[in-house]
Amino acid sequence: MTKSKISKLTISTDIEVYNSEKDLDKKDAVLLTEAKNILKNAYAPYSNFQVGAAALLDNGKTVTGNNQENAAYPSGLCAERVAVFYAGAQYPGVAINTIAISVKAKNVVIKEPLSPCGGCRQVIAEYENKYGKNIRIIMSGEKGKIYIAKSIESLLPLMFSKKYL
Ligand code: THU
């Protein structure tokens, strides 16, 4: 029998699970409320899926964003990226500490925490790497459990980053 040339790399990830908002630390609960409030201003006439994101910066400021859609679909942008890019534009030297994400859909109740899309993960990763500091990510649905990742690494293992360039 020939020895196999294939070995396996198993990747595990760590997410904290909270049963409800009441179990969150005060600061996290406040940030999540900001995300929930800003989703009301989402421009989502095509998907009817409103997302809000609130980013707490290391200078204590909070910047918020929501999804902005477009008739030419790919021209729109997710809530997380609106918030992260706004932070980058307004406070270029300031690291992001935590991002909270909230969601509301028109026709269904979202019972699972909303996990950022691949594009947003890559953007959050860029900002972690830019400042050399982890970004915590608080994910929530309209009801049910809340997830907290301590770093984008938990959501984007084997990420592409500037280290390859
Ligand atoms: N969306 C977000 O804003 N964030 C996510 O993490 C997932 C999806 C938006 C994009 C689009 O406007 C709508 O939700 C449906 O995909």
pLDDT recorded at residue 148: 98
**Tokens coding 156:** 């984007």
Ligand 1 pocket member 113 (CB < 6 A): no
d(CA 62, CA 67): 17
Contact assessment for residue 148 and residue 136, using Cβ atoms and an 8 Å cutoff = yes
- Angle CA(116)–CA(121)–CA(127) in degrees, nearest 5? 130
pLDDT recorded at residue 67: 98
Contacts 24+ apart (CB under 8 A), 126-130: 126/161, 127/84, 127/87, 127/88, 127/95, 127/96, 128/152, 128/153, 129/161, 129/162
Domains and CATH numbers, the chain: 15-154 (3.40.140.10)
pLDDT recorded at residue 13: 96
Residue of 78, 124, 140 best suited for mutating to test ligand 1, as the one with most atoms within 8 Å of CB: 78
What pLDDT, in 10s, does the model give residues 118-160? 999 999 999 999 999 999 999 999 999 999 999 999 999 999 9
Per-residue pLDDT of the chain (165 residues; tens, 9 = 90+): 566 899 999 999 999 999 999 999 999 999 999 999 999 999 999 999 999 999 999 999 999 999 999 999 999 999 999 999 999 999 999 999 999 999 999 999 999 999 999 999 999 999 999 999 999 999 999 999 999 999 999 999 999 999 999
Residue of 117, 122, 140 best suited for mutating to test ligand 1, as the one with most atoms within 8 Å of CB: 117
Q: How far apart are the first and last CA of the chain?
A: 41
| Distance from residue 160's CA to the centre of ligand 1 (Å) | 22
Identity of residue 117 = C
Which phi and psi (to 5°) does residue 107 adopt?
-105, -10
* Number of other residues whose CB lies within 10 A of the CB of residue 79: 29
Ligand 1 pocket member 76 (CB < 6 A): yes
